[in-house]
A and B are shown apart, each in its own frame.
Chain A
Amino acid sequence: MITGVKEYIEEVRSGNLNVDDFAHEVVERSKTIQKKYSPFITLVEHPTSGNGRIKGLPISVKDSICTKGIMTTAGSKILDGYVPPFDATSVSNAKRDGGMVIGKTAMDEFGFGTFSTNCAYSIPRNPHDTSRSCGGSSGGAACLTAAADFPHIAIAQSTGGSITAPAAFTGTVGITPTYGRVSRYGLIDYSNSMDKIGTIGKTVYDAALLLSSLSGYDRLDSTSAEIASEDFTAFGSIKGLRVGIPKEYFSEGVDKRVAKEVRSGIERLESLGASCEEVSLPMTDYGIASYYITAISEASTNLARYCGLRYGMQKEITGDFESYFSSIRSTGFGQEAKRRIILGTYARMAGFRDAYYIKALRIRTKIINEFAAMFKKFDVLVAPSMPIIAPTFSEIEKLSPIKAYSMDILTVPPNMAGIPHVSVPIGKVDSMPVGMQIMAAHFKESDAIRVAAAVEGAR
Chain B
Amino acid sequence: MEDYGKIDRKMLEHICSIAKLNLSDEEYARYQKELQDVIDVFRQMDKVDTQEEPSYHPIEIKDRLRDDEVIAHEWDPLCNSKSFEGRYFKSPKIV
Contact = CB atoms under 8 A, between A and B. Distances in A.
Q: Do A and B bind each other?
A: yes
Interface of A: 81-83, 85-86, 178-180, 193-194, 219, 222-223, 225, 283, 285-286, 288-290, 292-293, 300, 304, 307, 309-312, 314, 317-327, 329-330, 333, 338-339, 341-343, 345-347, 349, 351-352, 355-356, 358-366, 368-369, 400-402, 405-406, 416-419, 442
Contacts of B93: 319-321
6 contacts: A304-B19, A339-B31, A360-B45, A362-B52, A365-B52, A368-B58
B79 A85 contact: yes
A290 B45 contact: yes
Contacts of B4: 351-352, 355
Contact of A361 (B1, B27, B54, B75): B54
B81 A309 contact: yes
Which of the listed residues A85, A178, A307, A419 has the most CB atoms from chain B within 10 Å of its own CB?
A: A85
A180 B81 CA distance: 31
Contact of B22 (A179, A326, A352, A442): A326
Given A300-B19, A400-B34, A402-B34, 15 more contacts: A83-B80, A85-B79, A223-B61, A289-B41, A293-B45, A322-B20, A324-B91, A325-B92, A326-B22, A346-B15, A349-B18, A351-B2, A360-B45, A363-B48, A402-B38
Contact of A82 (B39, B43, B80): B80
A2 B2 CA distance: 64
A217 to B, nearest CB: 10
Interface of B: 1-2, 4, 7, 11-12, 15-16, 18-23, 27, 31, 34-35, 37-39, 41-45, 47-48, 50-59, 61, 64, 66, 74-77, 79-83, 89-94
Contacts of B1: 351-352, 355
Which of the listed residues B16, B55, B90 has the most CB atoms from chain A within 10 Å of its own CB?
A: B55
Contact of A342 (B21, B66, B79): B21
A364 B15 CA distance: 26
A364 B50 CA distance: 10
A319 B92 contact: yes
A345 B16 CA distance: 9
Which of the listed residues B11, B61, B76, B94 has the most CB atoms from chain A within 10 Å of its own CB?
A: B61
B37 A401 contact: yes
Which of the listed residues B52, B53, B75 has the most CB atoms from chain A within 10 Å of its own CB?
A: B52
Contact of B91 (A293, A309, A311): A309
Contact of B55 (A81, A349, A361): A361
Shortest 6 CB-CB contacts between residues of A and residues of B: A418-B58, A361-B54, A85-B75, A311-B80, A362-B50, A365-B52
Contact of A286 (B48, B82, B89): B48
Contacts of B48: 283, 286, 359, 363, 366
Nearest to B37: A402
B7 A346 contact: yes
Contacts of B41: 288-289, 402, 405-406
Nearest to A415: B58
Given A178-B59, A309-B89, A320-B94, A365 B54 contact: yes
Contacts of B76: 85
